[in-house]
Chain A
Amino acid sequence: MSEDRVKQLEEKVAELEVEVNKPILILDHVTMQFGGLIAVNDFHNKVIKGELLGLIGPNGAGKTTVFNVITGIYYPTKGRIIFDDIDITPFRPYQITHLGIARTFQNIRLFYDLTVLDNVLVAQHHELSNPDADRILIRNGKPPKNTKRFWFWRAVTKLGYISKEREMVERAKDLIERVGLSHVMYEKASALPYGEQRKLEIARALATKPKLLLLDEPAAGMNPKESEDLMEFIRKVRDDFNVTILLIEHDMKVVMGVCERIIVMDYGKIIAEGTPEEIQNNPRVIEAYLGKEWENV
């Protein structure tokens, strides 16, 4: 092989590596301050495409605030958030969801009076009704999710709508089947047991076709066996649906088994970052979780 060819290939490999290690989400020195309380202090990190990243820390460390800043519920005091090459800092939550970030909530927030199927269908509605978010996509040189207009009149008159509705229902049913909830398809969400509600919330988030999925303490309130099953489920979701997952977890044990990389927060700051093994042996992490007395034991 000629030297030129080798060089060419090397360049190609380097290019691909950049593509593979491309961050999907960058938090650029994000600070969130509520009056005198700094909930998130200079958070600077990134999420790589396709990884399963854990965000852990003791109670009140600011993990959920990070989620709320990413999803647009709070506007950060300082810093920027860049998702998929778009600066999403100023956007509203529904626009951010349209761009490709979906989330679940720490205390499950389902549409309890709606059926499982309707819960998932609601999450597809944004494809019809968010022209302003589509304009953001177009402005940034990305394809919009919806090319047709006047969906409201289509929905009311049913002209050019029935096929879309059928497609949405089909997609929702397929998704519900894939997450293993098809036996409760027409049950109200409130009638589901706790574990299935968690699954439904993840399914609902997946229905928005996200590139990045934010899970806020998915294993909260579960026993060890249940949370182990859930972690298995999350790993499966990542592989099947080809999404990047950022996961908040309070319980370290749970997160160790599933995450490839872990960020540890305490008092709004990142105190450690690395693989599960590195985190497990990091003295600062142990201190944050167990306190200083640990040294005296």
Chain B
Amino acid sequence: MVEKRLSTKTQVILTLIFILVMALLLWWADKGFDSYKQRVLRLIGIYAIMAVSLNLINGITGIFSLGHAGFILVGAYTAAILTLTPAEKEMSYLFGIQPWIKNLHADFFTATLAGGAVAAFSAFLIGWPVLRLSGDYLAIASLGFAEIVRIWANNALTVTNGPLGLKAIPEYSTTWWIYGWLLFTVVFIASLVYSSYGRALKAIREDRIAAEAMGINVFKHQLMSFVVGAFFAGVSGSLYAHWLTTIDPRITTMGPMLTFYILIMIVLGGLGSITGSLIGAAVFAILFEWLRDLEQPFSFFGIQVPGIPGMRILVISALFIAVMIFWQRGIMGREELTWNNLYKWFFGRKKEGERS
């Protein structure tokens, strides 16, 4: 019995062609789009990194973590502190600054890596006690972690500049940086997920007792997944900071709201599907920007609707409820959009009930 599939060589060539086409499209978009559309395009890339990394933790490993914004915040602050020059920092820190923080300076790439590394390290520290919990308890504990980090950032005046936040961060996040990092994230996580380690993580998601009985060190693997996910969250945080150019520890910038946005993306795309996360991030980012018009006064079938701030969140929530009712496992479910699956859908349709 042979499954209908493409050879590895064909798949690799198709993937390379796909990446090339995407790069060309991005190049075209980068040149042709106005600055608003460019910013949305970049936001899609950043959201995609956040979604793919949270998907590794929540969708693949089945750890219900709500602490993603915490890692993003850690990465964002680390990177922003590194890319601001000592003179700029002296200007914006009104309450004084720790001298060692003032003198830290690095280029954007190093800063992003450092952001990822610090986020990964904090995931290691927090994962050690928290991953002994499971289910709802873990969700609450990780949410607690994210809040602690945010409130710490709000109060550690000489390190993070407190509620004033960091301003005038250079806008280093170009389309190329963001999509380069996105490519690296997807390749890294897909490579991990479609290896023996990924199978072990999925096994833990399915049944942790059976996974442990099959010789998998459940705690170590969960911690590994948590740390890898947090690393890319930190990276996305750095990109986000250099996209926003201003970061502060308010709930709406990098607080629980951001975690829930990412959660919506991955559930919309399909928990456990990397391509689903990418689609979910794109759909969410585009909808979120497009629905901005709803917050202006508009007329709906002749009815005048005044501008209501927060209207788009209402509409997105309603849409989300509809998706969850009719499409419970999200757009992709746990399937991936691979060349093989495309090939199967177009050419290799099996008859219903037939076993290959």
Q: Which residues of A contact B (CB under 8 A)?
A: 71, 73, 92-94, 97-98, 102-103, 105, 109-114, 118, 121-126, 128-130, 132-133, 151-152, 155-158, 161, 164-165, 168, 182-187, 204-205, 208
Q: B356 at the A/B interface (Cβ < 8 Å)?
A: yes
A156 touches B206 (CB 8 A): no
B127 CB, min distance to chain A CBs, angstroms: 16
Q: B199 at the A/B interface (Cβ < 8 Å)?
A: yes
For B333, the closest partner residue in chain A by CB is A113
B196 touches A155 (CB 8 A): yes
Once the chains are docked, how many angstroms separate the CA of A80 from the CA of B264? 50
A215 CB, min distance to chain B CBs, angstroms: 13
Known: A129-B217, A130-B217, A183-B355. A156 touches B211 (CB 8 A): no
A253 CB, min distance to chain B CBs, angstroms: 28
B356 CB, min distance to chain A CBs, angstroms: 6
Tell me which of B1, B214, B217 has the highest count of chain A C-beta atoms within 10 A of its own C-beta. B214
B46 CB, min distance to chain A CBs, angstroms: 23
- Comparing B187-195, B252-260, B288-296, the segment that makes contact with chain A is B187-195
A129 touches B199 (CB 8 A): no
Q: B339 at the A/B interface (Cβ < 8 Å)?
A: no
Could you say which residues of chain B place their CB within 8 Å of the CB of A168?
196
B3 touches A114 (CB 8 A): no
A230 CB, min distance to chain B CBs, angstroms: 20
Tell me which of B195, B197, B210, B213 has the highest count of chain A C-beta atoms within 10 A of its own C-beta. B213
Q: Which residues of B contact A (CB under 8 A)?
A: 1, 3, 188, 191-192, 195-197, 199-200, 202-203, 205-207, 209-218, 220-221, 224, 334, 355-356
Once the chains are docked, how many angstroms separate the CA of A187 from the CA of B199? 16
Selected A-B contacts with CB under 8 Å, 21 pairs: A73-B209, A92-B217, A94-B215, A97-B213, A97-B215, A103-B213, A105-B213, A113-B205, A113-B206, A118-B199, A125-B200, A125-B214, A125-B215, A129-B197, A129-B216, A152-B197, A155-B197, A156-B188, A158-B195, A165-B196, A205-B214
A186 touches B215 (CB 8 A): no
Could you say which residues of chain B place their CB within 8 Å of the CB of A157?
191
A98 touches B215 (CB 8 A): yes
Could you say which residues of chain B place their CB within 8 Å of the CB of A161?
195
For A189, the closest partner residue in chain B by CB is B206
Given pairs A102-B213, A121-B196, A165-B196, 5 additional interface contacts (CB within 8 A): A94-B214, A111-B203, A129-B217, A129-B221, A133-B215
B158 CB, min distance to chain A CBs, angstroms: 38
B61 CB, min distance to chain A CBs, angstroms: 13
B210 touches A109 (CB 8 A): yes
Once the chains are docked, how many angstroms separate the CA of A5 from the CA of B356? 63
A134 CB, min distance to chain B CBs, angstroms: 11
A183 touches B214 (CB 8 A): no
Could you say which residues of chain A place their CB within 8 Å of the CB of B211?
111, 122
